[in-house]
A and B are shown apart, each in its own frame.
Chain A
């Protein structure tokens, strides 16, 4: 069964550094998402993306964050000038349709900011 893949599985970075989290969505999916989860807490929506544009973004997704689809397969989340509170599990997801369509999640990237 096709899956969403994320790399790296774990990223450690120092406060103030930039990180790029990478995702390869399922190949026939057109809608992409980033969510984050702070240590076993709620799953928080960050951003959705379609047709090379952001569709929706949350209050968390401020100027520190950006997303990009640099080629036909990758979908990236860039976090500039990381803060301690950015430490979390970041999940990428994709879906076939915009509405009423199951989200397929990758295994996540655990980001630790020291």
Chain B
């Protein structure tokens, strides 16, 4: 079953922060995060491997709450280049498969 992301869309001014959430109805083994710019392929941002793990990538970081089957992506001091659609991808263990979430469209304006 497809993970659900919230919000569906968000508009930020440069320098503002945002949080994107990803929830799954299935127990999660790991969570990936990808960004897709219009007309391009998804690009890997980071992967979180166990409950409670947090990771950072420039001013983008993420957390994974294994118990709640949720992950959050944090974007701080947003830049114009952060615009795009963000997808979480989940693995439930034992399968060669990443299931992508519903997506969150992020637009950063000057």
Contacts and interface: CB of A to CB of B under 8 A. Distances in A.
B96 A102 contact: no
Contact of B30 (A55, A91, A100, A107): A100
Interface residues of A, number: 25
B44 A43 contact: no
Interface residues of B, number: 28
A67 to B, nearest CB: 13
B89 A99 contact: no
B41 to A, nearest CB: 4
A103 B98 contact: yes
Interface in B29-72: 29-30, 32, 34, 36, 38, 40-44, 47, 49
A105 B42 contact: yes
Contacts of B49: 100
Nearest to A108: B41
Given A48-B96, A48-B97, A100 B47 contact: yes
Interface string A70-105: 000000000000000000000100000011111111
B91 interface: yes
B2 A56 contact: no
A55 B94 CA distance: 11
A102 B100 CA distance: 13
A25 interface: no
A43 B87 contact: yes
- The residue in B30, B42, B85, B98 that gathers the most chain A C-beta atoms within 10 A of its C-beta is B98
Contacts of B47: 100-102
A72 to B, nearest CB: 20
Interface of B: 2, 29-30, 32, 34, 36, 38, 40-44, 47, 49, 85, 87, 89, 91, 93, 95-103
Interface of A: 31, 33, 35, 40-45, 48, 50, 55-56, 91, 98-108
Q: 9 shortest A-B CB distances, which residue pairs?
A: A105-B41, A55-B96, A43-B100, A102-B44, A48-B96, A56-B97, A98-B96, A100-B30, A107-B41
